[in-house]
Amino acid sequence: MDNFKTKMLQLEYKYSDLTYITKHGSNNVILTAAHTMLQRKKDDTYKLAEPFTKAIALYVAEITNSSILVKNKDTGIDSNNSNSDPFKNMLLDNINNHNLKLVIDLHGARMERNFDVELGNLNNLSCDYATLKELIDAFNEQGILNVESNNIFKGGKITQKVYTETDCEAIQIEINAKYRNIDEPEKLKKICDSLINFINQYTSITNGEK
């Protein structure tokens, strides 16, 4: 577990000079993370960073050879609360140019939230129910049992953009802070393993043809 903890810390601070981290994988899935940094809002207040969403995306993408798109620096635009911005434009280009079939959009929720993970797919519009069920099962198999769907977080502008402008499926995943604590790497690894197992299952079923 010490090796995993070290790896996640390295990934969390990797590519610190880049505004966007993007890499094309060999399967039909892309992992995104847009809230990895402290963001200044229009009213001059700040949206807090969502720690380890970046590291989770990079780690899972590396293991599964999935594509990634991570926003690494504040651009003054909240990509999940705006109708259009470079992050979403880059995402659409990735989907269209590489025939991607699923966006896994990673976010972090406060520890006080009454769930371990919440999945948003616009009330079953932005992905098939079977896909959502496979993801729930993958979390449950790792002992992550308190999984909500479309309750508080139904999917933000990233999910909406993918749904309205592509044929790609999209799921927003809100991960409770207690599963993103580097001092409890066992819980963090359960999140990663859930996503890895799900992506492997998804890609074996779709085989690039969904």
Average pLDDT per consecutive 10 residues, the chain (210 residues; last block may be shorter)? 93 91 96 78 59 96 98 87 91 96 97 97 96 98 98 96 97 97 97 98 75
Closest by CA position to 70, among listed 83, 131, 81, 56: 56
Structure confidence at residue 41 (pLDDT): 54
Closest by CA position to 193, among listed 181, 203, 185: 185
Report all structural domains of the chain as residue ranges with CATH numbers, in order of start: 2-206 (3.40.630.100)
Rounded to an integer, what distance in angstroms lies between the CA atom of residue 31 and that of residue 116? 19
DSSP-H helix ranges across the chain:
2-12, 53-64, 86-98, 129-141, 157-165, 185-206
Total-model pTM: 0.92
Structure confidence at residue 206 (pLDDT): 83
Structure confidence at residue 201 (pLDDT): 96
